[in-house]
């Protein structure tokens, strides 16, 4: 058996964590033979609830779990962690402006970035889920200068999975038969779900999704809108935001980052922009990435960008530049 790894989940008393922790603990993400210590961080008023979560982890009797550290202390929580799921954040409350939400969260992610810098392993892989995820991840990386920026990412995998599943339903095929959809940009309603490079397996032969659906108006119109607003549709139906699917997506993201993607396949991850595809550098932008075994990702290069795609990429990049500007000025306050 390999040496145990240390995995932190922040916001551990919340609803996404409740689904995520079980996946981690039973080996779905880091492997069925990988033992781990679970580090669970939440805020002091949630320690009672967190205690209940720890009781349930114990009662699951999962052999891979070597120990659980439940705490509100950043120094304890981030000590020696190998992987970090940054889920905890301040939810949007009634009457709150976007800037108020950004302000509260920038402070959390600045503080937690500093804690990662001080206490985590330098090889830690950090996945930010808490919103506004891209800009929170950017701030987290900024305040952890001793850890490479490539070790930070934000989650657009839920949007990616939503797009893949919707196309599979439309085409009447299994989800695994649809590959290489792309989410570009921000995890917000400006994201661009793009099928121009996606393929589908129909009766054993591979086709482009665009040819198989053959309806440009739908693929550039209702499909894009549906993926962009899917989170709001789940809230309207469930009266709570996506949790099971968000946790599954977080697991998918980290599993692919840990083990690598299959040859010829790419997935969507918000990572630090290096200027690829004419996107401004130094924002956390969702790109198509392929990942080598062992975890080094590369932004897939050379995909043709249509005029329509160019416009969509520019809109979402613009929003991220605005968020970055606001976040940086809030950090100065």
Output b/e per residue, 99-113; b: 16+ Cβ within 10 A. Answer: eebbbbbbebbbebb
Cβ 301 to ligand NAX shortest distance, Å: 25
Q: Which is nearer to ligand NAX, 37 or 130 (CB)?
A: 130
Instruction: Check: CB of residue 56 under 8 Å from CB of residue 65.
Output: no
| Cα 41 to Cα 239: distance, rounded to the nearest angstrom | 25
Report the residue number, 187 or 324, with the smaller CB distance to ligand NAX.
187
Residue 162 assigned ligand-binding role = yes
Q: Which is nearer to ligand NAX, 17 or 198 (CB)?
A: 17
Binding ligand NAX (rule: CB under 6 A), the pick from 38, 65, 79, 88 is 88
Q: Are 87 and 14 in contact (CB under 8 A)?
A: yes
Cα angle value 239/100/320 (rounded, 5°): 90
**Shortest distance, position 47 Cβ to ligand NAX, whole Å:** 10
Please tell me whether 105 is known to bind a ligand.
yes
Instruction: Check residue 41 for interaction with ligand NAX (CB under 6 A).
Output: yes
Is residue 131 within the footprint of ligand NAX (CB under 6 A)?
yes
Q: For the CA atoms of the chain, what is the radius of gyration?
A: 19
Tokens 């995995």, residue? 7
Asked if residue 242 binds ligand NAX (CB under 6 A), the reply is yes
Calpha distance 126→150 (Å, rounded):
9
Active site residue 266: no
> Which among 27, 44, 43, 23 is positioned nearest to 35, based on CA atoms?
27
Q: Which of the following is catalytic: 39, 187, 197, 253?
A: 187
Distance CA 190, CA 283 (A): 15
Q: Is 129 flagged in the annotation as binding?
A: yes
Residue nearer to ligand NAX on the CB measure, 43 or 303? 43
How far, CA to CA in Å, does 326 sit from each of 275, 318, 320, 333? Answer: 21, 13, 10, 11
Which one of 15-23, 170-178, 195-203, 293-301 is the stretch in contact with ligand NAX (CB under 6 A)? Answer: 15-23
Q: Indicate the residue among 165 and 171 with the shorter CB distance to ligand NAX.
A: 165
The three-state secondary structure class of 267 is: strand
User: Contact with ligand NAX (CB under 6 A): which of 5, 21, 83, 108?
Assistant: 108
Does 6 show up as a binding residue in the annotation?
no
Q: Is 98 annotated as a binding residue?
A: yes
Do residues 120 and 84 make contact, with C-beta atoms less than 8 angstroms apart? Answer: yes
Assess 43 for contact with ligand NAX (CB under 6 A): yes
Of the listed pieces 35-43, 119-127, 174-182, 325-333, which binds ligand NAX according to CB under 6 A?
35-43
Q: Among the candidate windows 9-17, 23-31, 220-228, 286-294, which touches ligand NAX by CB under 6 A?
A: 9-17
Determine, following the binding rule CB under 6 A, whether residue 193 of this chain makes contact with ligand NAX: no
Cβ proximity to ligand NAX: between 89 and 273 the closer is 89
Decide: is 54 part of the binding site for ligand NAX (CB under 6 A): no
42 marked as binding residue: yes
DSSP code of residue 185: B
User: Contacting ligand NAX (CB under 6 A), which of 5, 8, 9, 10?
Assistant: 10
Q: C-alpha distances in angstroms, 161 versus 155, 178, 182, 194, 248?
A: 11, 10, 10, 12, 9
CB proximity list for 90: less than 8 A, separation 6 or greater:
101, 104, 105, 108
Q: Are 317 and 283 in contact (CB under 8 A)?
A: yes
Both tokens of 199, joined, read: 């393929």
Annotated binding site for substrate: 92, 98, 131, 162
Positions touching ligand NAX (CB under 6 A) are 10-11, 13-17, 41-43, 46, 87-91, 108, 129-131, 133, 155, 158, 187, 241-243, 246
Active site residues: 187
Annotated binding site for NAD(+): 42, 105, 129-131
């Amino acid at each position: 058996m390999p040496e145990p790894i240390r995995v932190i989940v922040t916001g551990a008393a919340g609803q996404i964590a409740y689904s995520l922790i079980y996946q981690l603990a039973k080996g779905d993400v880091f492997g069925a033979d990988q033992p781990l210590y679970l580090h669970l961080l939440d805020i002091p008023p949630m320690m009672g609830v967190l205690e209940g979560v720890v009781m349930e982890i114990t009662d699951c009797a999962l052999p891979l779990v070597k120990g659980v550290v439940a705490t509100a202390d950043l120094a304890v929580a981030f000590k020696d962690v190998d992987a970090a799921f940054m889920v905890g954040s301040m939810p949007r409350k009634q009457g709150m402006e976007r800037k108020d939400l950004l302000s509260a969260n920038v402070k959390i992610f600045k503080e937690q970035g500093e804690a990662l810098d001080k206490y985590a392993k330098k090889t830690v892989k950090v996945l930010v889920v808490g919103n506004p995820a891209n800009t929170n991840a950017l701030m987290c990386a900024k305040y952890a200068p001793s850890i490479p920026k490539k070790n930070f990412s934000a989650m657009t995998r839920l949007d990616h999975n939503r797009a893949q599943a919707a196309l599979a339903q439309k085409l009447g095929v299994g989800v695994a038969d649809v590959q290489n959809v792309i989410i570009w940009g921000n995890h917000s309603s400006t994201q661009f779900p793009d099928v121009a490079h996606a393929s589908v397996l129909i009766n054993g032969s591979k086709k482009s999704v665009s040819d198989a659906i053959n309806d440009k108006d739908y693929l550039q119109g209702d499909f894009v809108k549906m993926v962009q607003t899917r989170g709001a549709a789940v809230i309207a139906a469930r009266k709570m935001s996506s949790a099971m699917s968000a946790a599954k997506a977080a697991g998918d993201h980290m599993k692919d980052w840990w083990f690598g993607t299959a040859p010829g396949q790419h997935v969507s991850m918000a990572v630090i922009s290096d200027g690829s595809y004419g996107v401004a550098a130094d924002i956390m932008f969702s790109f198509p990435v392929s990942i080598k075994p062992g975890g080094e990702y590369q932004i897939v290069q050379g995909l043709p960008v249509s005029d329509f795609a160019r416009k969509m990429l520019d809109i979402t990049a613009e929003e991220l530049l605005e968020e970055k500007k606001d976040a940086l000025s809030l950090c100065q306050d």
